[in-house]
Chains A and B, each alone.
Chain A
Amino acid sequence: MLVNEFLEDSADAFPNKTALVCSGKKLSFLEIEHLANRLSNALIDLGVIKQDRIVILLEASVETVVSIFGILKTGGIFLVINPQVKANKIKYILNDCQAKALITDANHFKDLSAVTSECPTLETAIIVGYDQTEEKMHKMEMPIIHSYSEILDKYSIDRPQKRCIDIDLACLIYTSGSSGIPKGVMCTHQNVVSAASSIIEYLENTPEDIILDVLPLSFDYGLYQVLMSFKFGGTVVLEKSFLYPYTIIDLLIKEKVTGFPIVPTIVAILLSLKDLERFDFSSLRYITNTAQALPPRYITKLQQIFPGAKVYSMYGLTECKRATYLPPEELDKRPTSVGKAMPNTEVYLIDKNGKEITKAGEVGELLVRGANVMKGYWNLPEETERAYKPGPIPGEKVLYTGDLFKMDEEGFLYFISRMDDMIKTGGEKVSPKEIENVLYQIDDVNEAAVIGVNDDILGQAVKAFVVLKKKSELTQEDIIKYSSRHLENYMVPRYIEIRDKLPKSSHGKIAKKELK
Chain B
Amino acid sequence: MGKRNKNSESDIKKVLIDFINESFLPSSGLDSFEDSDSFMDKGIVDSTGVLELLEFIEDSFDIKVEDEEVIPDNLDSLNKLTSFIKGKCINAGK
Contacts and interface: CB of A to CB of B under 8 A. Distances in A.
Given A242-B47, A269-B51, A470-B55, A247 B40 contact: no
A475 interface: no
A247 B71 contact: yes
B5 interface: no
8 pairs of A and B residues whose beta carbons are closest in the complex: A84-B43, A501-B48, A243-B50, A246-B70, A265-B47, A508-B47, A241-B40, A86-B29
B35 to A, nearest CB: 15
B70 A245 contact: yes
Interface in B23-43: 27, 29, 40-43
Contacts of A241: 40
Contacts of B51: 269, 272
B45 interface: yes
B68 interface: yes
A501 B47 CA distance: 10
B47 A246 contact: no
A315 B61 CA distance: 44
Interface string A58-96: 010000000000000000000000011010000000000
Interface of B: 27, 29, 40-43, 45-52, 55, 67-72, 75
A274 interface: yes
Nearest to B69: A246
A246 B71 contact: yes
B40 A240 contact: yes
Contacts of B29: 86
A504 B67 contact: no
B88 to A, nearest CB: 16
B50 A244 contact: yes
Given A274-B67, A503-B27, A243 B47 contact: yes
A243 B45 contact: yes
Contacts of B52: 500-501
A273 B42 contact: no
A506 interface: yes
A59 B46 CA distance: 15
A83 B44 CA distance: 12
Contact of B70 (A240, A244, A506): A244
22 contacts: A107-B41, A240-B40, A241-B40, A243-B45, A243-B49, A243-B50, A243-B72, A245-B70, A246-B71, A247-B72, A265-B47, A268-B48, A269-B47, A269-B48, A269-B50, A272-B51, A274-B67, A501-B52, A502-B48, A503-B27, A504-B48, A506-B43
Contacts of A86: 29
B42 A84 contact: yes
Contacts of A272: 51
B27 to A, nearest CB: 7
A245 B46 contact: no
Contact of B40 (A243, A470, A500, A504): A243
Contacts of A244: 50, 70-72, 75
Nearest to A500: B52
A381 to B, nearest CB: 31
A508 B48 CA distance: 9
Nearest to B50: A243
A244 B71 CA distance: 6
A516 B29 CA distance: 19
A243 B47 CA distance: 5
Contacts of B67: 245-246, 273-274
Contacts of B69: 246
A107 B43 CA distance: 14
A84 B71 contact: no
A24 B65 CA distance: 25
Nearest to B40: A241
Contacts of A501: 48-49, 52
Interface in A374-392: none
A59 B49 contact: no
B41 A59 contact: yes
Nearest to B55: A470
B41 A84 contact: yes
B69 to A, nearest CB: 8
Nearest to A107: B41
Interface in A242-265: 242-247, 265
A500 B51 CA distance: 11
Contacts of A107: 41
Contacts of A265: 47-48
A467 B52 CA distance: 12
A59 B43 CA distance: 12
Contacts of A269: 47-48, 50-51
Nearest to A263: B47
Nearest to A274: B67
Nearest to A272: B51
B38 to A, nearest CB: 9
Contact of A83 (B41, B49, B50): B41
A273 B51 CA distance: 10
B46 A504 contact: yes
B92 to A, nearest CB: 20
A268 B55 CA distance: 16
A510 B51 CA distance: 17
